[in-house]
Chain A
């Protein structure tokens, strides 16, 4: 009897765990249904009552400041005409909700979109291609950054327009550079020498780190500077187990293990206010325009400069472009109106500028870049220069997994000195290729 009870107890517990995993589905379905009901309910209204404006939902996962900025744009659009009413809905867990909403009729009309997701979602037919609208309304693709549009495309179709573009550049502390009598580096060699000079140790304690090695995920960027491409020409396997990959690891080894310009974990867990770069404990790092407002806010005494990333041994430039866009849901019942909103925002210099100036994001729309706000401000120039050569991540649905689970763990072992360079590249290649294969698009 007791035995039976014990078994029963165990199996009940077991079941409840499984339910914990799988009930996510149900939960999301339940949560998104209120949102789901509104477009459906209103879907029929414009046909029945012609005077009433069409209501659109715009999903995003930016709260706080970002939400206010989105709402300002939405209000401006709503005021500009009386046929369409857009409402911004903050979805903290947007992608998970979209998964259930997309197929249950509750798809948002417009979505704030992390561009790299396009090649995972576009093949599933949940995003609406905009090529026809672009052609009809005479909007030229050459007004946008090629790479950003490429990232929003799949199978020859374009699925949205870029809202922001960004790329990492080299941030440096001007005060520390002046003390050491240094110029910002332009090559790997200069980067390594400068970092060595800027580093200050006190016994076993690192006081000022010359350069940050906090993120091994930046390998892609260094690898471009070494003249490499992360994936092969067929876009189905990694291509970093070669001399170029080795030259990146040699640079890292020299700076981290021989010159000791950094200590692993040095920046971990420091919040915005204690950021090592803000407090002058870090002299140089790669980061992007998204940090500008933080550094201006917390770094009262911080004088920093920005230069494009130093070039590799053969003079190759490299940085990774990222950013967001707006896309239209295939499940939307008002795609035409949704397009009107996207076009108003992202294909109109004035409106685009209103957004970019307010949110301090670099526009992906070139006419907006001609504005003195971006063109004449020296703070933007290094980023604009970097964006000229920055490349998006390879368009493979398994790329981020390959990087996160295959490549980066091996690089971390290398940085810890637990694995030599040759073994690191070999293992990263083997594991990375398998992850790419397992996560390849199947249709």
Chain B
């Protein structure tokens, strides 16, 4: 009797505490998503009309070459960016996960690019990547190499965007990996050493599996971020040259806000969401997120 009363009280309090979050979630997330889904079946233009057009938007979308090109662009970007991001941020985290002097300074320095605004950073990189007066091509010229016009050639533009975004993303992922590394229990390493495991083996059989949840988090977040690439690419190249760095988010924004085809833009946004879902599921399978780690 007393027990169930207590449970009921606890349950009530529990619901009370999560109410604000659930309410905010419903108002600012669930309702807009449902609305956007509805709008994707209309010819909504924000200003004058919102008529049901059935699957017209989705039909139009299939024939939209430019949309598929932007998807190819971000897929290429994702496939290169995500593994590189995991690799480098893990490497940096491993390097900085020791108690030696001055390590905090290096952690801070590695984190700094993350704090810089994307637009400001991209502006500085515009300079670094300048074909004639840029730092990078200046460096290459010491070795007798004439560097390309990084941002003005369709072949190298996306590579440049990857470089810049990687530089900015490593900091925050390094911090997440550092936290993950500190959570690996010391006794595991100790017993492995007793069993005669070398450093590589310790990494392979202890650190990497122990970091699986962290890697899952980092990879999921970077996949989502990568597929939604927009601001750096926009500042660096304005989607050019030859549409090589145009991304779905850019196109969605343009269709919705510049061309007032919000209905069509909503349908494009749902295709993007679907792509993100598929990639995240693949990632889940690959990183075996559902298996226990010990």
B residues within 8 A CB of A405?
Answer: 66, 243, 246
Q: Is A38 an interface residue (CB 8 A)?
A: no
Provide the A178-210 mask, 1 if CB < 8 A to any CB of B, else 0.
Answer: 000000000000000000000000001110000
Residue tally, chain A, CB below 8 Å to B: 61
| Docked pose: A102 CA to B129 CA in angstroms | 42
B72 in contact (CB, < 8 A): no
Is B55's beta carbon under 8 Å from chain A? no
Assembly CA distance A24 to B32 (angstroms): 10
Structural contact, B46 and A99, CB atoms closer than 8 A:
yes
Contact among A3, A96, A265 for B150, CB-based, below 8 A: A265
Chain B contacts for A120, CB-based, 8 A: 259-260
Which residues of chain A are near B211, meaning CB under 8 Å?
Answer: none
Contact B33 A18, beta carbon cutoff 8 Å: yes
CB pair A266 B47 closer than 8 Å = no
> Which residue of A99, A409, A418 is within 8 Å of B240 (Cβ)?
A409
For the residues of A in contact with B, the DSSP-based class is: helix
Q: Is B206 an interface residue (CB 8 A)?
A: no
> How far is the CB of A36 from the nearest CB of chain B, in Å?
15
Q: With A264-B153, A413-B154 in contact, is A13–B32 under 8 Å at CB?
A: no
Q: How far is the CA of A442 from the CA of B151 in the complex (A)?
A: 37
**CB < 8 Å: which of A10, A263, A266, A410 contacts B284?**
A10
Tell me, yes or no, whether B65 is within 8 Å of chain A by CB. Answer: yes
- Of B36, B45, B146, the contact of A18 (CB 8 Å cutoff): B36
> Which chain A residues in 348-377 approach chain B with CB under 8 Å?
none
Interface string of B92-128 (1 = CB under 8 A from A): 0000000000000000000000000000000100110
Establish whether residues A16 and B29, one from each chain, have CB atoms under 8 Å apart when the complex forms. Answer: yes
> Bound state CA distance, A441 and B263, in angstroms?
15
User: Is B210 in contact with chain A by the CB < 8 A criterion?
Assistant: no
CB of B152 within 8 A of CB of A19, answer: no
Least CB distance, A11 to chain B, in whole angstroms: 8
User: With A13-B220, A21-B36, A416-B241 as given contacts, are A6 and B261 in contact (CB-CB < 8 Å)?
Assistant: no
Chain B residues near A21 (CB-CB < 8 A) = 36, 249, 252, 269
Closest 7 CB pairs of A and B: A269-B126, A265-B152, A265-B149, A124-B47, A22-B32, A22-B36, A412-B241
Which A residues lie at the B interface, using CB under 8 A?
Answer: 2-3, 6-7, 9-11, 13-26, 95-96, 99-100, 102-103, 120-121, 123-126, 204-206, 263-266, 268-270, 397-398, 400-401, 405, 408-410, 412-413, 416, 418, 431, 434-435, 438-439, 442
Interchain Cβ contacts under 8 Å between A and B, 12 examples: A2-B292, A13-B221, A15-B29, A18-B273, A24-B257, A123-B48, A265-B149, A409-B241, A412-B154, A416-B242, A434-B65, A435-B66
